[in-house]
Amino acid sequence: MTLQKKTLTLPAGSAEIRQLRAGDEVLLSGRIVTGRDRAHRWLVEAQPEALRPFLKDGAIYHCGPVMTYRNGEWQCRAAGPTTSLREEPYLADIVQEYQLRCIIGKGGLGERSAEALRNSPAVYLSAVGGAAVCYANTVTAVENVFELEAFGMPEAMWVLRVRDFPLIVSMDAYGNSLHRDVETRSRESLASVLEAMERSF
């Protein structure tokens, strides 16, 4: 399998998602919606209709952005990823209910969410920790914000327009996972080291 640098524009259909493979580098453009713990719980429990048009065939980004309000508009100053496994209890339901195509974050997902990616289809796109300002520089517009007063700035759901947001497909719609591959190789290496230690005694 040849891995490639690809572009993806949201909203995206299933055919475009199925062209992506684990390991591909992606430049993402279009609309993404940030969401953390409170947002995910709200999406599952309240099922707000107002969010559906922003999420359908789109992406949710596990991020608590730093925003400033200047000259009558919001501007994104930092937009680094947060750990996705925190949202594992909600993600499979959210992917199905809101017809998501992409989940963006860091650290990977659990098996229930991986199954939802296969069924949808959808992909998990890994962002790099420590690159919050670089990611903010890809934001071309802040289109909307939901639950700002109730949740606060980092937990609110920000609707961002991005251009050439750099990501890596680390879990694809075929069940491939870079996270699982690394874990498997790590276990194998550890077993080899332990075996060598045992032989030395």
Q: Which residues are catalytic?
A: 40
Q: CA-to-CA distance for 93 and 56, rounded, in angstroms?
A: 14
Q: CA-to-CA distance for 156 and 134, rounded, in angstroms?
A: 21
Q: CA-to-CA distance for 16 and 19, rounded, in angstroms?
A: 5
Q: Which two tokens stand for residue 45?
A: 């429990």
Pick from 127, 131, 132, 78: nearest CA to 104: 127
Are 4 and 23 within 8 A, CB to CB? no
Q: How many residues does this entry show for the chain?
A: 201
Element counts in the chain: helices (H) and strands (E): 8, 9
Q: Which two tokens stand for residue 36?
A: 């953390």
